[in-house]
Structures are given as C-alpha cells and as structure tokens.
Amino acid sequence: EISVFLFDQDMRYIIVDGSPLRKAGYDPSEMVGKRLHEAVPPKNFTTMHGYYSRVLQGETFVFERRNEQLKSIYRNYATPIKNDNDEIIAGLIVSQEVTEHERLQESVKQSEARFAGIVHLAADAVISINEAQEITLFNRAAELMFGYT
C-alpha cells in the first residue's frame, strides 16, 4: 500500500493520494491546496518540515516513520522534481506501508537467534553440509567430538 505526496516550493500539496492515508483518518482530497503546516498535526510538523526542506534543496533520500496509534511503519522515498532547466519546482514523497514486512523480518531474526542458541547448546554434534559438500554449520559439540577447539 502506498501514498503519494507532490508539493510545490511553498510546501503546498498539489497531489495527495493513497489508501494508507484514508486508513489513518485523512481525506487526501482535503489536503490538496493546503500547506504542510495546515495539513499535518503540530506534533509532526517540525520533523516533516525537515524532510520536505531537504527534498526542496535537491536531496533524494529514504526515511522511515511510525504511526504509533495505528502501530504502522512507513518507508518513505523522497526526491525533488526538476523542470527542463534543472531547477527544482516541487518535491515528491512516496510512502509505502512496510509494517508486515518489518514484523516478518523481526520474527525471522528471533527464529534464527533461537535456532543458533539451540544448536550452540546442543550436547549432540550438529553438522550441516550444502549442495557443494561444504560445511555450513559445525556446533561446539561437533568441535569437541572431532577434536577441533
């Protein structure tokens, strides 16, 4: 799910759209024509103003934001828009909800950590070999059994 924010040099929204905005309680059509300070909550203004300023100064970058109320994570891709004379005329931020992706990554990390702990503490030798017949896993018990320390 993505949201798109196109804004001019005055940080006035030209185009705003996306289902994550509606899910967060915003009506994208009501944001069009408003300046940043009129459209975002005061608690978010300083941070967002910094991002928008960087874009309008010519920087392309990625940043993450969290919506604690919705427990959502958004990865934002920011870039300036230039005219034929290479002058910055607007900024574009595309926001992608990555909440589920981040949760899955954290779950994988936890599973890997549990697996590593179990293998490390196992009293039995644990050895794994890949398709090329290379040893990819050799736990402490295997080291002791085969005389490697």
Predicted pLDDT of residue 103: 67
Predicted TM-score (pTM) of the model is 0.66
Predicted pLDDT of residue 87: 95
Mean pLDDT by 10 residues, the chain (149 residues): 93 91 85 94 92 97 80 89 95 85 69 76 84 86 82
SS (H, E, C) the chain: CEEEEEEECCCEEEEEEEHHHHHCCCCHHHHCCCEHHHHCCHHHHHHHHHHHHHHHCCCCEEEEEEECCCCEEEEEEEEEEECCCCCEEEEEEEEEECHHHHHHHHHHHHHHHHHHHHHHHCCCCCEEECCCCCEEEECHHHHHHHCCC
Predicted pLDDT of residue 99: 65
Predicted pLDDT of residue 137: 83
